[in-house]
Amino acid sequence: MSDLSERLYSLRKEHGLTQEDAAKELGISMKSYCRYEKDEREPSASVLIQMARFYQVSLDYLVGMKDERQ
């Protein structure tokens, strides 16, 4: 599992969301969101930015380059 998929899973759980809820809030399909969490697919840069904003973390944290959230 990649850092991105692990962090997406953890952040979603912290926010008390289902995959369907998170996908809806991000404006993407649930199937895509599931694939990102399972490390079967990588999101585009624009989707990564949406995710970072939604979960209120930095892109570096989201993709595993830093351990600090901001």
Q: CATH number of the domain that 13 lies in?
A: 1.10.260.40
Average pLDDT over the chain, rounded to whole?
96
Instruction: Please give the average per-residue pLDDT across 54-59, as a whole number.
Output: 97
* pTM of this structure: 0.91
What is the spatial distance between Cα 20 and Cα 8, in angstroms, rounded to a whole number? 13
Q: Residue range 13-24: average pLDDT?
A: 98
Higher confidence at residue 64 or residue 2? 64
In which domain, by residue range, is 27 found?
Answer: 3-60
51 within some domain: yes
User: For residue 20, what pLDDT is reported?
Assistant: 97
User: Does residue 38 lie in a domain region?
Assistant: yes
How many domains, the chain? 1
Inside any domain, residue 15: yes
Is residue 69 in a domain? Answer: no
Indicate whether 67 belongs to any domain: no
Which residues have a Cβ under 8 Å from the Cβ of 60 and sit 6 or more positions away? Answer: 66
Look at residue 14 and tell me if it is in a domain: yes
| Backbone φ and ψ of 49, nearest 5° | -65, -45
